Amino acid sequence: MRCTPVLLLIASMGSAVLALANAPEPAKGCAEQPHQKQPGCVDRTLHKARKTTVLSAKREVSQRQADLSNAMKKGDPERVDQGREQLARARKALQQAVDDLDR
């Protein structure tokens, strides 16, 4: 059997690799403590959550616009007012989510 240098290196590092595999997990840092800013900390989890919130808020605004449009077609003044209020709340939530994403 012929071993390449890479395989020999991996074989010689076997115990070191096992030690790393059994080592306790390091603290997650920013993801667990978003209120504490740590130098050089890139919190991808928080950014991803904020992007998800923005997408959800965009869907909510679209749904509220459709609901308002349907209420206007039916001509029900109560539903139109309610639709306008819900759309305003959804737009405000979207703006807040976008602002949070930009932080």
pLDDT in tens, 53-94: 999 999 999 999 999 999 999 999 999 999 999 999 999 999
Range of the domain at 96: 44-103
Q: Which residue has the tokens 């309610």?
A: 82
Residue 11 in any domain: the answer is: no
Residue 74 in any domain: the answer is: yes
Question: Which residue would you say has higher pLDDT here, 85 or 28?
Answer: 85
For residue 7, pLDDT beyond 50: no
Which residue type is seen at 24?
P
Q: How far apart are CA 98 and CA 62, in angstroms?
A: 16
For residue 16, pLDDT beyond 50: no
Which residue type is seen at 61?
V
State the total domains in the chain.
1
Residue 31 in any domain: the answer is: no
